[in-house]
Amino acid sequence: MSGLKDAGHLFRFAGLFVLAFLVFLVVRSYVVPKTFGQYGHYRGASIGEIASRPIKFAGHQTCETCHTDISDIKTKGAHAHVNCEACHGALAAHADDPTTVTPVKPDTAVLCAQCHAASAAKPKDFPQVDPADHAGGVPCETCHNPHSPVVGSDSGASAGSDSSASAGAGSSAKTAKGGAK
């Protein structure tokens, strides 16, 4: 033991290290979030925080619980695979409170062209028209029912008397069937 007789200063110094380590452990336990490391090197609770954010698109299943009349028309038509909110926009607020939040009806003269305006970059089997040439500014819904757009399909568009419009619709009807399969 004679070797340790004059080693008191080393033990005191080692004690300081041990104390510093304990302080570190205490501070760490307060600073590191409780869920850090729950699943990996991150804060586990953040998953729940991100998952609990509110939704804005209600989803077509929600729409179909009330608007069965529209979904019945739509499922038979060429737009069967187009979800409600693809055209009508995000409407979770309307689904939560149908009476006070009422959706604005889209302008078909603008809306339809977003998809159906002709461009050689689009897939060949997708029905496309030159809006100015095809309708000349007449809103699409004059001839086409947006929920079942092929003119002459069972849902029945509102008009269709214009011969050039119906001829154009007839040709697009063929491509629409091709695109829908």
Is 8 or 40 the residue whose CB approaches another protein more closely? 40
Alpha-carbon distance of 141 to 156, in angstroms, equals 11
Is 57 or 155 the residue whose CB approaches another protein more closely? 57
Which amino acid, one-letter code, is at 39? Y
Q: How far is CA 8 from the centre of its chain?
A: 70
We find the least distance from the C-beta atom of residue 88 to another protein, in angstroms, to be 10
In the DSSP assignment, the letter for residue 36 is: B
Residues that bind another protein (CB under 8 A): 34-36, 38-57, 59-60, 81-83, 85-87, 89-90, 114-115, 117-123, 126
Q: Which residues pair with 36 in a beta bridge?
A: 43
We find the least distance from the C-beta atom of residue 62 to another protein, in angstroms, to be 9
We find the least distance from the C-beta atom of residue 126 to another protein, in angstroms, to be 5
Is 86 or 109 the residue whose CB approaches another protein more closely? 86
**Six-digit token string for 137:** 């500014």
Is 2 or 119 the residue whose CB approaches another protein more closely? 119
Q: How far is CA 81 from CA 10, 19, 115, in A?
A: 78, 67, 14
